[in-house]
Structure 1
Amino acid sequence: MNLKRTFKNIALISTLITSMLTLSACSNKENEKPEASEVKTKVISTEELKTNVDKDDWIVVDTRLNDSYNGWTLNGEKRGGHIPQAVDFSYNWLKVEDKNKDKILKEALKNKGIEKDKNIVLYDTDGKSSNEVASYLNENGYKNLYTYDIDQWAEDKNLPLEKYENYKMIVPAKVVKEVVDGKKPETFEKAKNVKIVEASWGEETESYKKGHIPTSVHINTDTVEPPPTWMLASDKDLAKFAKDYGFTKDDTIIVTGAEPMASYRVATVLRYIGVNDVRVLNGGSDSWVSAGYELETKSNPKTQGADFKATIPANPDLIDTIPELKEKLKDDKFTLVDNRMWDEYIGKISGYSYHKKKGRIPGAVYGYAGTEGSTSLNYYRNIDKTMRNANEIKDLWKKCGIDTNNQLAFMCGSGWRAAEVLTYANVMGYDKTSLYSDGWIGWSTDSSNPTETGEPK
């Protein structure tokens, strides 16, 4: 399958890069970062921040890891989350190797309203992250820079902090490391039978062999979407999948991998069959290496089980079939969100070398995806492959006329991109959601299903 081969090549390249980064790492300390030249900034007090945070000529920027902004407490803060109205611009983005990094970061500054004529407050917990972002901004002509210690805000329980309702669904590398080390980190206090798996296409792919999160067991995505159609496996086959890996509904499963999209696809299937607590490593394996942790190369065998402890699928409403989708499309309170490229949506291209049919499902609303083909999702990700700011995602949906009060079903070509977007929607707190798993390929394979091309009226 050419799409799967593309992902395999991407995973191999990503693994080679992360392996090089691992070899150059000199420490496993989470907070160890490259030294940045000191930039002259003004330290702002909590009272000053409270006075200015609502003003149009001020902007507050969270420079910590994206996970801290989402809600995780990673550096000893009294409370997790971000200051209301703050935007995010992580120091970690500055470390990413990408030929288009300068363009991507400047576009992020623009989207977030971080402008040169504003007073910019950069906050973190130790001054290091803020200094790195301040150095970058200073090099690009930003002068009105302030720094702030978020600990001061967090210590005052009367000051609000915001976190995503279901932030625990996407997990930081530091928390996964604590799980690997046998600890019970935040939100895992009551977790039973924590298992770590690695999702990628192929039988123990090169990406898995060359490096994966320690203790993780490989899952070939073909197991849950078998060839030659690569549609969702039957309930009978999914029950066998659960038994082969010893999964039960009471497990807590963390899905990892070099390409997060594959992780989200498998995670959604695990939720569908009925595993109660499924999470994904935010940013994939790159986030693990960036944190200074080593990948493991030995193969970890799966352990067969007996009783899933529930009838599969135990969460059938999470995934829509074609007959179910046809019924839902008749409802004004339902929106089918098409997470493909615009050229796929209007029928200019199919998006897949192995599927020639072009167009869209009548009634589907364009919902953005990526700009680099069917394996990209940059409208929903930061440069380090972590989840994009929820307010920016909601702005995308607003531009498309997507009413988040409706029941939302997400779709793409075959379910990979849409599974990631679905999870982000759930992290944000939207629970009237589902995945139309068969996507455009499943719909258009049946010539009796109606299709459209061209720009919608």
Structure 2
Amino acid sequence: MGKKMKKHFLLIVVLLLGVMAMAACAKEEPAKEETNGAVNVITTEELSSKLEDDSWVVVDTRLNDAYNGWKLEGVKRGGHIKGAVDFSANWLKVEKENKDSILDEALETKGIAKDRNVVLYDANGKDASAVAEYLAGKGYENVYTYDVKQWAEDESLPMEKYENYKNIVPASVVKDILEGKTPETFEEGKKVKMVEASWGEEETSYAKGHIPTAFHINTDIVEPPPAWMLASDKELAQFALGYGFTKEDTVIVSGAEQMAAYRVALVLKYMGVDDVRVLNGGLGAWTAAGYEAETESHKPEPVSDFGAETPVNPDVIDTIEEAKAGLANPEEFTLVDNRTWEEHIGEISGYSYHDKKGRIPGSVFGYAGKTDSYSLDYYRNIDGTMRNADEILALWDEAGLDTNKHLSFMCGSGWRVAEIYAYSNVMGLENTSVFSDGWIGWSNGGNPIETGEPAK
């Protein structure tokens, strides 16, 4: 072989070796297509291979309604990629005094750390980019984006959704209903009643803005002052007829204060309305979606027959006697105290109109809010939507709550736990109830109380 041919041969060998080395590297690391500065696109095959790799974290950046199970933005299957955590781009838009610390805590809780490879996925090409930009500003480097529509198209790839995700409704679905469309999980041809629940007369909240066509319910109707305990079954039956509710109804309850909406929803479920849902995130979710609130007043049409003997679902709400019987059987029953820690140990009563402090003996602290008796920080995302179920269950596990037992949720008088009870149902937990009279009803009845930190 001549010198020239030898040189050409050696050159070809070197080039082939280089190509082989590049191919080997490509197998080890995901292909990176520059799309947003340091952000790279990852393929479905590559993402699938990383789900069990602890050095990777997969993040759903869409609205939490999509994470929960709703098929939004043209996605074929509802829910989230199995194992994914949530960090919605919507959270970045919230105006809140302690926003930075709340978001930092969320990143830590969800394991979205700088030393991990972070895959951000969406369905609109915008949410993942917004979160990627936010993370870049915090020094994150190994960030990838992905279009979840591709994943949803392949039925063999695992997705998860909450068993009863339909119970809390996205603003976009409410909008579709108002426009005469029939979204998923809603029966075609069935009229949906829109309700705004808030404390006080219309001018207090309703008149300032509500979901279009919604009529107002003052929560004083279902829990009359000055005690603000749940009204009697007879009074609740009159309430249902006066506001036009029947057993066959489908109802969506909303409001500027979500606890009021969940409180009314709980009462309607107790009475026996077949299909009761709540707008996830309340009126704030409606306006954040860019929809206009209405100020026109609407009135319900009374009915003469509910369609069944009420309450249809008495097991939804526990009486004091039932709570006492449950406490006597701790192997099967847990009374969950969803108040602040300060209320639980008796440092404060939590209410300006109630001075008794302490807790019910045998109750187990189950978290609520961090500030006062109207906060639910441990159960809500920063935008007011339901926190993801895995994190709620982790809280309960830390508190020693066993979901195999019957969980009866209690707070001061039923507002906070109406929302927590609804979330438990969304998660698929059916062996739950609400001790509606709560701490106020118990302590006013002269029953035993405890103060101080509980024994471990």
Q: By the TM > 0.5 criterion, same fold?
A: yes
Deviation of 1:203 (Å): 1.3
Deviation of 1:193 (Å): 3.0
Inter-partner Cα distance in structure 2 for 1:39 and 1:70: 31
Report the equivalent of 1:327. Answer: 325
Report the equivalent of 2:340. Answer: 341
Inter-partner Cα distance in structure 2 for 1:224 and 1:396: 31
> 1:187-206 alignment to 2 at 5 Å?
187-190=185-188, 192-206=190-204
Report the equivalent of 1:395. Answer: 394
Q: TM-score, normalised by structure 2?
A: 0.91
Inter-partner Cα distance in structure 2 for 1:191 and 1:307: 22
Report the equivalent of 1:438. Answer: 437
> Which of residues 68, 76, 96 is equivalent to 1:98?
96
> 1:84-233 alignment to 2 at 5 Å?
84-190=82-188, 192-233=190-231
Q: Cα RMSD between the aligned structures? A: 1.0
Report the equivalent of 2:42. Answer: 44
Unaligned runs of 5+ in 1: 1-36
User: Residues 176-226 of structure 1: CA distance to partner in whole angstroms, max 9, x if unpaired?
Assistant: 111111211110035733100000001113321011000000000000001
Deviation of 1:39 (Å): 4.0
Unaligned runs of 5+ in 2: 1-34
Residues 253 and 261, structure 2, Cα contact 8 Å, conserved in 1: yes
Inter-partner Cα distance in structure 1 for 2:174 and 2:393: 28
Inter-partner Cα distance in structure 2 for 1:52 and 1:327: 49
Inter-partner Cα distance in structure 1 for 2:127 and 2:216: 34
Deviation of 1:311 (Å): 0.8
> Which of residues 50, 53, 60 is equivalent to 1:62?
60
- Counterpart of 1:410 in 2: which secondary structure? strand
How many residues are matched?
A: 420
* % identical equivalent positions: 66
Residues 63 and 124, structure 1, Cα contact 8 Å, conserved in 2: yes
- Counterpart of 1:218 in 2: which secondary structure? strand
Inter-partner Cα distance in structure 2 for 1:234 and 1:453: 30
Relative distance call for 1:133 and 1:183 in structure 2 (3 A) is same
Q: TM-score, normalised by structure 1?
A: 0.91
Report the equivalent of 2:416. Answer: 417
Residues 62 and 89, structure 1, Cα contact 8 Å, conserved in 2: yes
Inter-partner Cα distance in structure 2 for 1:314 and 1:43: 53
Report the equivalent of 1:15. Answer: none
Deviation of 1:126 (Å): 2.3
Name the stretch that deviates more: 39-48 or 382-391: 39-48
Report the equivalent of 2:301. Answer: 303
Deviation of 1:446 (Å): 1.2
Report the equivalent of 1:12. Answer: none
Report the equivalent of 1:7. Answer: none
Deviation of 1:38 (Å): 4.3
User: Residues 286-305 of structure 1: CA distance to partner in whole angstroms, max 9, x if unpaired?
Assistant: 10001110000010011111
- Counterpart of 1:419 in 2: which secondary structure? helix
- Counterpart of 1:158 in 2: which secondary structure? coil
Relative distance call for 1:227 and 1:429 in structure 2 (3 A) is same
- Counterpart of 1:434 in 2: which secondary structure? strand
Inter-partner Cα distance in structure 2 for 1:168 and 1:71: 8
Higher Cα radius of gyration: 2
- Counterpart of 1:363 in 2: which secondary structure? coil
Report the equivalent of 1:287. Answer: 285
Deviation of 1:40 (Å): 2.9
Inter-partner Cα distance in structure 2 for 1:417 and 1:235: 21
User: Residues 405-442 of structure 1: CA distance to partner in whole angstroms, max 9, x if unpaired?
Assistant: 00110000010001100100000000000000001000
Name the stretch that deviates more: 200-209 or 92-101: 200-209
Inter-partner Cα distance in structure 2 for 1:335 and 1:180: 41
> 1:15-26 alignment to 2 at 5 Å?
none
- Counterpart of 2:376 in 1: which secondary structure? coil
Task: State yes or no: 1:317 paired with 2:315.
Answer: yes
Residues 39 and 131, structure 1, Cα contact 8 Å, conserved in 2: no
- Counterpart of 1:72 in 2: which secondary structure? coil
Residues 192 and 250, structure 1, Cα contact 8 Å, conserved in 2: no
